A = this chain, B = another copy of it.
């Protein structure tokens, strides 16, 4: 009834052996283009290995637990989608948990997921996890991937970006446009890797022998409302000409704050964001930002986890994901009249 591997081979022109390896999470030596083509076609044809047959042999539930801080944040919903697309193509499903950035809930969720006999876990967390979490995971020998910005200095299974580098990149762009008074909106809840983005910002300004006023650094919630409130406070207290907002959701709020204060972006204030959510290119002006490969992070996490489930004695790889500055309209050259020395 359903599509077979042969159907996928016919449609893609890829060999059956290769397809089988890719769909079983053992296709890392093939190009990403080939892997994507196979997954895409498997999805289109609704290819599906027999779940029960597989299950009997492997004693697995083919279920992965995934914990994210906030599913309504487009950053995390995109990450979930990347993981889900990959897992579904391999006949795995996701038990999704929303921790609301609370470490107690993370702890409880790990426990619940282990009760439900998931085959592995993906934990995206802004927190230092309770040590209890690791005791549980290790004692049950469950593979897990941490999307935690290397907060736990784990030796394997780290998929991460270099937040320091990203903060530096955003700031460097503003400096290169002639800005000297550059503010930053950070977070009040240790969410994302804001601390390291802040360090990148500080290092970049220092390298250019530019001073930083403590007034230029403002904390806020990692939401539209948080960005709005922090930017309002910051613009009332300073005469900055540029602003690095450490995530794009907050940048949406920053735009509104500027609008209400009669400050035009980018004429009066240049803004650089972080993440490159879909909305970034619909904003007015479109948002210059540091792109994280969000979907690919979810996909890679799923890929590494399935490998670890299939080869429990092999060490998991670590993967640093690339960042890229996406130049759009929200940051521009500082006009002469406003240059500060």
Decide yes or no whether A203 CB sits under 8 A from chain B: no
Known: A98-B84, A252-B279, A282-B256. A93 touches B116 (CB 8 A): yes
With the chains together, A94 CA to B63 CA distance in Å? 12
B252 touches A282 (CB 8 A): yes
How far is A171 from B168 in the complex, measured between Cα atoms in Å? 49
Q: A255 is contacted by which of B253, B278, B282 (Cβ under 8 Å)?
A: B282
CA distance A57 to B265 in the complex (A): 61
A160-185 toward B: CB 8 Å interface, digit per residue (1/0)? Answer: 00000000000000000000000000
Which residues on the B side are within 8 Å of A104 (C-beta)? 46
Do residues B93 and A95 form an inter-chain contact, with CB atoms below 8 A? yes
Q: Residue A37 at the B interface, CB < 8 A?
A: no
How many copies of the chain does the oligomer comprise?
A: 2
Q: How far is the CB of A131 from chain B (nearest CB, A)?
A: 16
| A interface residue count range (under 10 / 10 to 19 / 20 to 34 / 35 or more) | 35 or more
B224 and A278 contact, CB distance less than 8 A:
yes
Which residue of chain B lies nearest to A91 when distances are taken between CB atoms in the complex?
Answer: B112
Contacts of A84 in B (CB 8 A): 71, 96-98
Interface presence of A105 (CB below 8 A):
yes
Cβ contacts under 8 Å, A52 to chain B: 115
New A-B contacts (10) at CB < 8 Å, excluding given A72-B78, A224-B282: A61-B116, A63-B116, A71-B71, A71-B77, A71-B81, A84-B98, A224-B278, A255-B282, A279-B279, A284-B284
**A→B interface (CB under 8 Å):** 46, 48, 51-52, 61, 63, 71-72, 74, 77-78, 80-81, 84-85, 93-98, 104-105, 108, 112-113, 115-116, 224, 228, 252-253, 255-256, 259, 278-279, 282, 284
